Amino acid sequence: MSEDDDIVFVAEESAGESATPELAWRVLVVDDDEGVHEATEFALGGTRILDRPLKLMHARSGAEALALLRSEPEMAVILLDVVMETDDAGLRTVDAIRNDLKAVNTRIILRTGQPGHAPETDTITRYDINDYKTKGELTRNKLFTALTSAIRSYDQLLRMESSRRGLEKIISASNQFIAEQGMQAFAEGVITQIASLIGVTPEGLVCAAAEEPHGDFGPRQYRVIAAAGRFRNMMQQRLSDFEDRRIAYALADVLVRRQSIINPHSVVLYFRKSEREGFAAFVDSAVPIADVDRHLLNVFCTNIALCAKNVDLVSELRREAFVDRQTELPNRTAFIGQLSVHARQPGRKPMVLAVIDVDQFAVVNDILGNSYGDDLLRAMAQRLRAAFVADAFIARLEGDAFALLGPPDRVNPETLRRCFAEPFTIQDVSHPVSVCAGFVPLEMPYREGAEYLKDGYLALKRAKTAGIGQSVTYSRDIGLESRERATMLRDLRIGFDDRQLHLVYQPLLELGSGRMVGVEALMRWRREDGKLVPPDRFIPIAEQSGLIVNLGRWLLEESFSALGRLHAAGLADLRMSVNISPVQLRQPGFPELVRNALGDTGTDPRFVEFEITESVALGGLEVALEVLGALRGMGIALAIDDFGTGYSSLSYLERLPASRLKIDRSFVHSMSREGQGRRIARTIIRLARELGMRVVAEGVDDPAVLPLLEQFGCDEVQGYHFAEPMGEDALLAWHAAVPR
């Protein structure tokens, strides 16, 4: 099959007699000799060249010729006298035609009175002059031959130009299409391109096979996937439902034959995506479609079909980039895009963004397994979709975090609470779920989507600190606080480099004997102005930045070398307790860091204990256990700090390789009064002993609790009643002063 067979031309039934006037070749005669005009008219009157009549036009001087050409750009040939108002008026005119008017396709035949006035060869090539003749030579026959060859070459130039333009369009269209949104935008582009190739206004349709929803193999259904001009309201219509049967038949014919057809008043092109798959475009034309370059249309069809394949590919990639596979919800990138689009809308309606996070999801994953966790997330996505799909944009941001964007009467703490009021049934088990959420009203002035989302996370964080099932709406204060934290972080970085940080040590005493068995290293930051910042304020800030890495390294080296000095000062088997936060623990290469610090300071790990909190498990128990195992392997002991305040789970307590447990000071304080506090303290101590752990009571500032602690079986105590945290020298002095 030759490539041109891809396109079938259908002749107009009532041939010829159309209302549009027949196209003529325009020929301009420029001469100051009136006789020449008359002779030319006479010689060419009624002549047809390449199947078209000639239209003769006349100018008596170079200036007149240029004026006429400005208003009549499509001149095929100019018969130009060389000597007119001046000796070189003709050549000056040629210069203006080529260089000023930029008429490059128009053919020029020079006529000279005498052979001596013939132009130089380089003039002929420079100005692209087709031919020159002496006036005497221009007999009717010779004129006809000269004009025919000039017109033929003009026609070819025009065709070449139009196909070059067509190709350029196709190429630029292809590039543009790839960047477009998807098949619909692409198909709309196809209509525009066809229309401009055949020189009509873009009115048409693109039809493609509809996706077979249930994979049934019935007859293929075709639908409109793009429509332009007066067909605009036919989007999504089925081919079989078209009112205009003429168009329906034309499209069906092309889709079945897989072949393009050019009708006198329409073009129906077939685009072959694969052996089986393709789509068809119909473009209508009120006027008969003039000569289309079939080769060009073929190039167009092949190229566009290729593009369509790429569009499918890009759509697939976009899906990959914007849709979360697990829940089939839009992902974070898509959500940020949606936020930005919305924020940019002028006169937009009030909207609220919500960032939602499942309470204690990591715990669920740990205890019930990953597949359970996955099922829960999918069920949550479904629940959110059912509750909000009608009026909010729903996305999964990451892990257990979801997001909503919708009007304030739909997206608010109350609707969210209602959405999660019912428990979920996962793997036949009923599972109540609570969520925390941060809400952000999208207010003027316009900001980037990512910035709103950041505010959402700030509000969410507030909600999480408030407890489970909490909601917080973003306010200026929250933003302010986060800026304050940023300032503090900057100061902390500088302070760290300026050695504004130091360690103090608080004794741990054996209950009963009162012997100092250990010290706990506690970090202090004294700012330039002398103010002390409490560690529980600046450590979390360091943790949120990379600073914690350097801070942690310094902490280890500092406390280990202090231990060495204290040992040397006579506190022979003193133990050093160092607080390690979950963030530090999860920092990659942490065990390595510890090993190096031990080696560099020559520290015996048997005298080192790390205090961790139960919250290490919240970031994933397995990971934590691996690191803790490595530390235990080095010979470092572990203590569980602040026990009773975190997410306490017996299964954690049993699996964490800790040998000591520190009862949180809040329980110790409540022991001063009769009541539940005492019972809790007693239970914790019993529990610890049951698990083979030794127990420390921290925050002992009231000596009245000591007999009770002793009675319950507590091993060690720490608190202001005995000693406050102190510098190294003060500690040695304190120790020396204690009566033994």
Q: Which residues bind ligand C2E (CB under 6 A)?
A: 506, 521-523, 534-536, 539, 555, 579-581, 611, 641-642, 665, 698-701, 718-720, 725
Question: Which residues have CB under 8 Å from 69's CB, separation 6+?
Answer: 28, 75, 97, 101, 103, 106
Cβ closest to ligand C2E, residue 32 vs residue 701 = 701
3-state secondary structure 154-190: HHHHHHHHHHHHHHHHHHHHHHHHHHCCCHHHHHHHH
Cβ closest to ligand C2E, residue 268 vs residue 522 = 522
259 binds, among ligand C2E, Mg ion, none (CB under 5 to 8 A by kind): none
Give me the least distance between CB of 507 and ligand C2E, in Å please: 10
377 binds, among ligand C2E, Mg ion, none (CB under 5 to 8 A by kind): none
Residues that bind Mg ion (CB under 5 A): 579, 611, 641-642, 698
278 binds, among ligand C2E, Mg ion, none (CB under 5 to 8 A by kind): none
Q: Is 115 exposed, middle or buried (0-12, 13-18, 19+ CB in 10 A)?
A: exposed
Cβ closest to ligand C2E, residue 456 vs residue 725 = 725
- Take residue 720 and report the two structure tokens written for it: 């202001």
Give me the least distance between CB of 602 and ligand C2E, in Å please: 21
Give me the least distance between CB of 511 and ligand C2E, in Å please: 15
Give me the least distance between CB of 567 and ligand C2E, in Å please: 20
Alpha carbon distance 145, 667 (integer Å) = 114
534 binds, among Mg ion, ligand C2E, none (CB under 5 to 8 A by kind): ligand C2E
Q: Which residue has the tokens 């307790």?
A: 577
Cβ closest to Mg ion, residue 166 vs residue 719 = 719
Give me the least distance between CB of 632 and ligand C2E, in Å please: 19
Cβ closest to ligand C2E, residue 129 vs residue 539 = 539
Give me the least distance between CB of 525 and ligand C2E, in Å please: 10
720 binds, among Mg ion, ligand C2E, none (CB under 5 to 8 A by kind): ligand C2E
Cβ closest to ligand C2E, residue 350 vs residue 534 = 534
Q: Is 492 exposed, middle or buried (0-12, 13-18, 19+ CB in 10 A)?
A: buried
Give me the least distance between CB of 615 and Mg ion, in Å please: 12
Give me the least distance between CB of 183 and ligand C2E, in Å please: 55
Alpha carbon distance 27, 56 (integer Å) = 5
Cβ closest to ligand C2E, residue 582 vs residue 713 = 582
Alpha carbon distance 545, 549 (integer Å) = 9
9 binds, among Mg ion, ligand C2E, none (CB under 5 to 8 A by kind): none
Q: Which of 444, 547, 453, 459 is nearest to 500 (CA)?
A: 547
Beta-bridge partner residues of 532 = 526
Cβ closest to Mg ion, residue 6 vs residue 642 = 642
Q: Which of 132, 129, 143, 133 is nearest to 54 (CA)?
A: 143
Cβ closest to Mg ion, residue 112 vs residue 579 = 579
Give me the least distance between CB of 334 and ligand C2E, in Å please: 38
Torsion angles phi and psi, residue 348, rounded to 5: -70, 160
Q: Which residue has the tokens 């020079």?
A: 110
- In angstroms and rounded to an integer, the radius of gyration of the C-alpha atoms of the chain is 44
Tell me the C-alpha to C-alpha distance, in Å, between residue 47 and each of 25, 267, 300, 340, 491: 11, 33, 37, 66, 93
- Take residue 295 and report the two structure tokens written for it: 């080769």
Give me the least distance between CB of 731 and ligand C2E, in Å please: 14
Tell me the C-alpha to C-alpha distance, in Å, between residue 698 and each of 2, 15, 112, 229: 92, 105, 117, 80
Give me the least distance between CB of 690 and ligand C2E, in Å please: 23
Give me the least distance between CB of 553 and ligand C2E, in Å please: 12
Cβ closest to Mg ion, residue 424 vs residue 647 = 647
351 binds, among ligand C2E, Mg ion, none (CB under 5 to 8 A by kind): none
Letter string b/e over residues 310-329, b meaning 16 or more CB atoms within 10 A of that residue's CB:
ebeebeeeeeeebbbeebeb
The alpha carbon torsion through 134, 138, 142, 147 (nearest 10 deg) reads: 90
Give me the least distance between CB of 679 and ligand C2E, in Å please: 21
Cβ closest to ligand C2E, residue 93 vs residue 718 = 718
Cβ closest to Mg ion, residue 400 vs residue 520 = 520
Q: Which of 614, 581, 578 is nearest to 597 (CA)?
A: 578
Alpha carbon distance 110, 30 (integer Å) = 10
The alpha carbon torsion through 80, 82, 84, 85 (nearest 10 deg) reads: 110
Alpha carbon distance 245, 239 (integer Å) = 9
Q: Which of 18, 24, 100 is nearest to 62 (CA)?
A: 100
Give me the least distance between CB of 718 and ligand C2E, in Å please: 6
Half-sphere exposure of 62 (CA within 13 A, CB side): 18
Cβ closest to ligand C2E, residue 392 vs residue 519 = 519
580 binds, among ligand C2E, Mg ion, none (CB under 5 to 8 A by kind): ligand C2E
Cβ closest to Mg ion, residue 558 vs residue 698 = 698
581 binds, among ligand C2E, Mg ion, none (CB under 5 to 8 A by kind): ligand C2E
- Take residue 724 and report the two structure tokens written for it: 């406050």
Q: Which residue has the tokens 């079938």?
A: 8
Cβ atoms of residues 618 and 363 within 8 Å: yes
147 binds, among Mg ion, ligand C2E, none (CB under 5 to 8 A by kind): none
What DSSP string runs through 552-592?
HHHHHHHHHHHHHHHHHTT-TT-EEEEE--HHHHHSTTHHH
